[in-house]
């Protein structure tokens, strides 16, 4: 089984335990992107990142000095968004790290795909960024089916806890041999399932922690997830969508 999640925009270096275990699989492709980003002017970079001056300045300086092979920290500890705060890997037990290293993969516009203990540096480059170069029309074009092929190598069950921006790098290439289940976290509003961004991110992080704590190896076993007021709804679920509703 593979579990896929999105990266976070906010990143902080964390060299505490555990140290990074390896370099990312597609570091050479990340190097090419880094070289391109380094050549951009401040205004060009800001436009691609679609952010304010403060964030653009921080990342302009990052790209000017970037080195993907030095001063690295584990990916799972470096991303610092809501999902990662609720996952709380900083207080994982060793067996939890072993579990996510085996099963969890982080999708990234910059690195492609990461194991939790891959060594990374802070960067900003969303998968949906309007990056058009002489070697790609977009990051989706740049990665094509590379991430799908890596994710499904000797594996045919995927639990999707990623946003659509990232999950479509996988879902676009699905075939009948792959079981792809998306976990949906929402509430019933006017007869429809409504997802709220913050709660979804919180629940995705909690789901990863839940799976690590319980050493879950079969996707169907996530139906017992009952954290943050969510519980599985058989009524609203389908073959490829497991729906968890917030209890009111």
Q: What is the pLDDT of residues 203-231, one digit of tens each?
A: 999 999 999 999 999 999 999 999 999 99
Q: Within 10 Å of residue 130's Cβ, how many Cβ atoms?
A: 11
Matching residue, tokens 């922690």: 209
Q: What angle do CA 7, 105, 115 make, to 5 degrees?
A: 95
**Within a 13 Å sphere around the CA of 225, how many CA atoms are in the beta-carbon half?**
32
Look at residue 16 and tell me whether its pLDDT is greater than 80: no
In the structure, what pLDDT confidence band is assigned to residue 35 with cuts at 50, 70 and 90? Answer: very high
Nearest to 98 by CA among 176, 211, 179, 248: 211
**Within a 13 Å sphere around the CA of 76, how many CA atoms are in the beta-carbon half?**
32
In the structure, what pLDDT confidence band is assigned to residue 91 with cuts at 50, 70 and 90? Answer: very high
* Residues ≥6 apart with Cβ < 8 Å to 47: 130
Q: Residue 193: phi, psi to the nearest 5?
A: -85, 120
Distances (CA, A) of 208 to 15, 179, 201: 22, 19, 11
Structure tokens at 229: 């007021």
Look at residue 245 and tell me whether its pLDDT is greater than 80: yes
What's the pLDDT score for residue 13? Answer: 86
User: Parallel, antiparallel, or unpaired: how do β-strands 241-246 and 230-232 relate?
Assistant: antiparallel
Look at residue 200 and tell me whether its pLDDT is greater than 70: yes
In the structure, what pLDDT confidence band is assigned to residue 73 with cuts at 50, 70 and 90? Answer: very high
Does the predicted TM-score (pTM) go above 0.85? yes
Structure tokens at 97: 């790290």
Structure tokens at 187: 């509430």
- What CA–CA distance (Å, rounded) separates 111 from 24? 7
Q: Is the peptide bond between 18 and the residue preceding it cis, with omega within 30 degrees of 0? A: yes
């Amino acid at each position: 089984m593979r579990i896929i999640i999105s990266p976070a925009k906010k990143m902080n270096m964390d060299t505490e335990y555990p140290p990074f275990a390896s370099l990312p699989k597609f570091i050479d492709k990340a190097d090419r992107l880094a070289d391109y980003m380094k050549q951009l002017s401040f205004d060009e970079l800001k436009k691609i990142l679609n952010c304010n001056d403060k964030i653009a300045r921080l990342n302009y300086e990052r790209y000017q000095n970037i080195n993907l092979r030095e001063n690295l920290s584990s990916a799972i500890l470096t991303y610092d968004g809501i999902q990662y705060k609720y996952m709380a890997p900083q207080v994982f037990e060793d067996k939890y790290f072993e579990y996510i290293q085996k099963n969890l993969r982080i999708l990234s516009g910059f690195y492609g795909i990461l194991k939790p203990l891959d060594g990374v540096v802070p960067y900003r480059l969303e998968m949906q960024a309007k990056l058009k170069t002489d070697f790609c029309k977009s990051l989706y074009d740049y990665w094509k089916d590379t991430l799908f092929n890596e994710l499904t190598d000797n594996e045919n069950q995927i639990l999707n806890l990623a946003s659509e921006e990232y999950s479509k790098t996988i879902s676009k290439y699905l075939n009948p041999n792959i079981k792809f289940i998306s976990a949906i976290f929402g509430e019933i509003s006017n007869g429809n399932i409504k997802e709220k961004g913050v709660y979804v991110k919180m629940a995705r992080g909690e789901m990863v922690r839940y799976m690590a704590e319980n050493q879950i190896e079969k996707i169907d076993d996530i139906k017992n997830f009952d954290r943050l007021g969510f519980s599985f709804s058989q009524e609203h679920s389908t073959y490829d969508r497991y729906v968890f509703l917030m209890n009111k």
